[in-house]
Amino acid sequence: MKVLDVINACNKILELDIAVDDIANGSAEPCDKTNRIIDCCNTISEELYRDYPTHCRRTVAEADSEGFIPTSQYSLCRVLSLCDGEGAAVPYRYTQGGLLVSKSGKYNLTYAKLPKTVGLRDELEMPSPRITDRIFVYGVLREYSLQTGDFTSSAVWADKYDAALNVAVKQASAVMPARRWL
């Protein structure tokens, strides 16, 4: 799904009077409403990548003598695990610009990666195939309504977004029954 498709869907649903066709062919500049929807797309994308990480990365990170691990080069959304060389979990704390551990050394870091920031003509990449375009648009509608101060509408879209997301996640975590001997 493209960002322009999300803008078009939000425009139709919320009746925002955005000239989407003119913006798409380049004859009009994006307005404040359009820029706000793009910001909402980035917010919802980051939220989905944070809560349902499928773009996990693994790396060896090194802590300095004070136990600080810089994470700015990783595009880190959240840490999934931090282990020492023997595979034992290591306690850590988020700090400005990195992680703080008790001692220096090398650690195995598994983390969820942040999505790329999208613009007007970019393609949106979902963190999971279970998260559909409809679910994403519900999230953008929730965020847009919240940012514009329409709290009643935001609550309605939040309910729809959460319900659709819960169904999608529940289907993804379905467990097959155990095999049995005949």
How many C-beta atoms lie closer than 10 Å to residue 78's C-beta? 13
The amino acid at residue 136 is F
Residue 15 and residue 34: Cα distance in Å, rounded? 13
Reported as a single tens digit per residue, the pLDDT across 5-26 is: 999 999 999 999 988 888 888 8
Residue 169 and residue 76: Cα distance in Å, rounded? 23
pTM (two decimals): 0.77
What would the two tokens of residue 68 be? 């600080």
Residue 101 main-chain phi, psi, to 5 deg: -120, 175
What would the two tokens of residue 44 be? 């919802």
What would the two tokens of residue 7 be? 């803008």
Mean pLDDT over 76-84 rounds to 89
pLDDT of residue 49: 86
Closest to 42 (Cα-Cα) out of 122, 110, 128? 122
Beta carbons of 69 and 98 less than 8 angstroms apart: yes
Backbone Cα Rg of the chain: 21
Reported as a single tens digit per residue, the pLDDT across 65-79 is: 899 999 988 888 889
